[in-house]
Amino acid sequence: MGRSTGKYIFVTGGVVSSLGKGITAASLGRILKDKGFRVTMQKFDPYINVDAGTMNPYQHGEVFVTHDGGETDLDLGHYERFVDIDLSKSCNVTTGKIYSSVISKERRGDYLGATVQVIPHITNQIKEEIFNLREDFQADVSIVEIGGTVGDIESLPFLEAIRQIKNDIGKENCLYVHVTLVPYLEAARELKSKPTQHSVKELRSIGIQPDMIICRSSHPITEDVISKIALFCDAEKKAVIPVLDVATIYELPLLLEDKGVGDLILAKLKMEHRQSDLRDWSKMVQKLKSPQGEITIGLVGKYVESKDAYLSIGEALTHAGAWLNLKVCVRPIEADCLTKETSNQELTGLDGILVPGGFGRRGINGKIEAARFARENKIPFFGICLGMQAAVIEFARGVASMVGANSTEFDPATPYPVIDLLPAQRSQTDLGGTMRLGNYQCQLKNSLSKSLYKTESVWERHRHRYELNSDFIPYLERAGMTMAGFNPEFKVVEIIELKNHPWFVGVQFHPEFKSRPNRPHPLFIGFVQAAYQCRQNDKK
């Protein structure tokens, strides 16, 4: 199974979860890209789900959608934002996907009657996914993150596979990076390196010696502690990298490069030495840290208790804010609790209202109420996916005199099904992978949206089943709604706008997935700019 070309960086985590393996991996990708190397990234998740599409946002955060329709782990969003590349569904691989592929091969007779086992069949399939991805992307370096924590039983096949790769392609083509925790004990008033030692010992027990140890801590890590970790973990002192919390996650590539991580990677992988050019990235970080103004956006959703459920939306707002030298404060508002009686208290004083996507009946009335409040009070409004559908329902009821208008998702017997399934979707029964997923074209009409995009046609990422029902377009248009964008393949509406409103836009797609810190999405720029103008007008 050996491959003769290409370099691989494997990122693992120890002690506890949520240490920032994904951000670390993404930062390494940014550093290498700014040294002029072609980079691709991959995440292996140990859960048995085939993909993240049906997982609860409270447990797993948002589902990030790739351009080719993959429903993936949210870390792929970090990868795309940091490295500014479009990844594919092959960049997120789960235990469920690996076992499904192996079982399919066994059923076809590919193994010629052999007893199918974790080693070599499962590990070979994992290695095949790793090797194929780098070759498909023609990348100089593939950065592979292993989900979970070292010591978890679920992660063992992945760790065994990346251990084997060192023998398959040679040690000079592999680099192992371990992200770990160095906790500070208040009672003792000192940092403790023992958890890191035990984590590395666990990794070494399965045959992986980390080349670099990223040490997360809430307190500055002293030279004595670094030396101790290097000694007991058999690592070079310069390869033990202390990382404190940073003001913004986008600062991490600068911090790591300042500590010589990029040059250390090139030396260990025997790659050509190149200088980094992080000047543009540094300017972007400075703008993030030094805003000239501030706005508050209300995010009306059903998973607002989870900080990761709307992660890409929060980042897209941050990107647009930095572009405009503004700090965007997001106020989470539970859609379940929003009613006509509570909306004044909850929504008054906001500079803009954003209603994100979602599925199911819960919280829909609150989202519809948010759209009504924004429409009637001339507050900039941005509806995304279900947020757009909520705005259409509210407009149909409140302006177009369609009493009882609804989506057939929530009321199959509604007299005005302004939101409905496409005919091809009506026979679908499975939930996983059955939606309009990934990139679809949107042709723009003369509108606010077109003026922001500055082009005739765009491609945006989708994740939904229900659409604006074309039968009701004439009635909605007569009442004052503009159909600003259409998909030419399905002949369905992609963007709606309202006339006589400062900024009211709903989109059927998910623009947040294409926003980058150094290249914000134009619709988010327009929304944040309108919200700031709203604030300025209120001051007059």
Phi, psi of 400, deg, nearest 5: -90, 10
Determine contact, residues 140/6, Cβ cutoff 8 Å.
Answer: yes
Place of tokens 């409905």: 420
CB neighbour list of residue 477: distance below 8 Å, 6 or more residues apart: 483
User: 477 an active-site residue?
Assistant: no
Which parts of 86-169 fold into alpha helices (H)?
95-108, 123-137, 156-169
Spot the catalytic one: 91, 174, 233, 385: 385
Cis peptide before 291 (omega within 30 of 0): no
Question: Which residues does residue 41 pair with via DSSP β-bridges, in sequence order?
Answer: 143
CA pair distance 85, 457, nearest whole angstrom: 21
Spot the catalytic one: 178, 501, 510, 521: 510
Which is nearest to 387 in space by CA: 359, 356, 344? 356
Task: For strands 174-181 and 212-217, give the pairing.
Answer: parallel
349-363 in b/e form (b: 16+ CB < 10 A) is: ebbbbbbbbbbeeeb
Which tokens sit at 292? 């000239």
Task: Give the SS3 label for residue 91.
Answer: helix
Which is nearest to 21 in space by CA: 262, 216, 282? 216
Phi, psi of 243, deg, nearest 5: -135, 115
User: 521 an active-site residue?
Assistant: no
CA pair distance 319, 81, nearest whole angstrom: 10
224-250 in b/e form (b: 16+ CB < 10 A) is: ebbebbbeebebeeebbbbbeeeeebb
User: 215 an active-site residue?
Assistant: no
Question: Which residues does residue 143 pair with via DSSP β-bridges, in sequence order?
Answer: 9, 41
Spot the catalytic one: 62, 121, 512, 534: 512
Which is nearest to 128 in space by CA: 105, 156, 153? 105
CA pair distance 492, 437, nearest whole angstrom: 15
CA pair distance 539, 460, nearest whole angstrom: 36
Q: Would you report the helix, strand and coil content of the chain in percent, each value rounded to 5?
A: 40, 25, 35
Place of tokens 């080719």: 68
- Sequence-separated contacts (24+) of 305-309 with Cβ below 8 Å: 305/58, 305/332, 305/334, 306/57, 306/58, 306/61, 308/57, 308/60, 308/61, 308/62, 308/74, 309/57, 309/58, 309/61, 309/62
CA pair distance 229, 295, nearest whole angstrom: 44
Active-site residue set: 385, 510, 512
